[in-house]
Structure 1
C-alpha cells in the first residue's frame, strides 16, 4: 500500500486529537505536517495541545506551524465542547517540549505544497482561517491541492439534533466562502453524517476492551467530550473530525454528491449556514462534494484497529 501524503490543519480539540492519532497510526497516511488555527480554543492553546498530542503518540518529528489567531473578518468566537484549554480531561498529558516551526502556518503550507511533485491532500478539521488566507496569499500553490477534505457544514435537517449552522462554518464564514470560490476540489464532511457516528454504550465498551495506553487516553477524551452532547442533546459524542480523516484513509466510508454550496454571511439565526442547492435552482456549477451517507460500523472498526497495539 502506498501511503497518501497529507497536510493536516486543525484546532485541537478532543475530536481533532483523535483524528491526529489516526493520521499518525494509519499506514495509509503519510503525515507531512500539521498546522493549527483558532477555534476550539485560542491559538496558543490549540497549538500547545497539538504539540502535546504528537509528542505523546511518538510523532514529535512531524513539523507543526502555528496559524491564524482570529477569523479573517470578525472577532473570534470560541467553541464550547472541549473546555477552556481545548483538551480538558487529559491532565496527565505532559506539557509540550517541542517547538513550532518559525514560519506562519499559511507560509508553511505554501512551502510544503510547492515542494510536492504531484498534488496532495489537505485535511482541515477546524475553521478555515488558514486555508482561506492561503488562497489569498499563495494562489500559485492551489493546483498542488489534490483535494481539501473539510469537516464542516450542515446541509439538510434530518432531526432536531442538527442545527442550521455548524461551528467551523460559523467561526469563519468569510474564509469558507473564499475557499469555496477558489476552485480547490473540496469534500465537505458535515453534521449530516458525523451525527450518525456516535460513541454510545457499545462503543464505550469496545474502547474499554482495547485497554492499550493509547486506547485509554482516547477513552478519557471521549468521556469528557461526551458530556456536552449528553447534557445538551441526550446523545453520545459525535466523531466529527475523525470521520473527515477516516474518509481520506478509506473514501468508501462515505457517499458524496456534488452540489453548489453558498454561505449565509448576513443572517442572524442562520448566520454562517451552509446552503446546498440540491436541485440547481441557482444555476451555479457545483463547488464541492458533500458527504450524504456514512458506514458508521466500518468507521468504528477502523478506529478500534488503529488504537490496538
Structure 2
C-alpha cells in the first residue's frame, strides 16, 4: 500500500465520490476512516511518486491513526475546493502600515516626449528672412509697401486688397515674409502718423514717402485738412434775403405721370391679393371635398360592417 496521498490538482474525478485520480493517473479510494488508499483494481501505480503539496495547501485538524502507530496522517484537501481558497489570505493592517505607493512614470512616456521634442526641433524653419507674421518690417518691405500704395492710390477696402495681393506676389519672388492685409494697413498708418523730426535731424525716407503718398490719396479723394484760418464764421457774412410773391402766377398742376404709376401699382397689388385669395379658396374647397368623400366612404363601410355583424349573430342563434 502506498502512503503517498493523491495530488490536489487531479486530472478527473469519477461519478463515485469515493474515487479520484492524481496527476500521474493513479486511482485512489477513500476508506471508512476517510483516508485515501491506492485502488489497484482500476489502474496500476506508476513507478514515480507525485509531488506532495506544501503544508499551506492543507486545512483542518490532524487526525491520528486508530492503530496506535502515533504517526498520524494529514487530512487531504477537498478535490472540489478552489485554488484561491487553499492559499492563505494576507492580513490587512490599519494606520500607517499601508502607505500608498508612489506612481512611477513609464519609460515610454519619457521616450515619447524626447521623440516629439526632437521632431519639433527638426521641423524648425531654415529659410532666410523674417518668419511669417513678424511685427518688424525691413526697409525693403516698407519701400515695397509704399510703392504699391502710391501706384494704386487705394480708396477703401478694395484698394487695400489690391495692395495686399501685389505685395504677396513681390514677397514670394524676393523670398520675403508674407504679411496679412491688416498688418500692411496698420504699418502704413503708423508711418503716416510718424511726425517729422525737429531741428537739423534728417527724416527717414520711408516716413517722408509715406506722407507724400497720404497727400496723393487725399487729393484723389478730394479731401484735405483745414487750418484754423480757413474756417468761416457765418456771423461775419451779411445775408441779403429778398421775399417775392407769386400770387399773380397761375397755379401749376402736378404732373400726371406719378399718379398713373401709383394707380398702376395699386391695381397690380389688388390683383395679386385677389389671385392669392382665389388660390386659397380653391385649396380649401378641394380639402373639404376630399374630407366629404372620405367621410362618405367611412359611413358606407360602417354600414356594411353592421350588416355583417347582424348576419353573424343570426347565424350563431340559428346554430344554437
Determine if the TM-score, normalized by the shorter chain, exceeds 0.5: no
Q: Return the index of the structure with the highest Cα Rg.
A: 2
Q: Which has the higher contact order (CA 8 A, sep 6+)?
A: 1
Higher share of residues assigned helix: 2
TM-score by length of structure 2 reads: 0.15
TM-score by length of structure 1 reads: 0.15
Higher share of residues assigned strand: 1
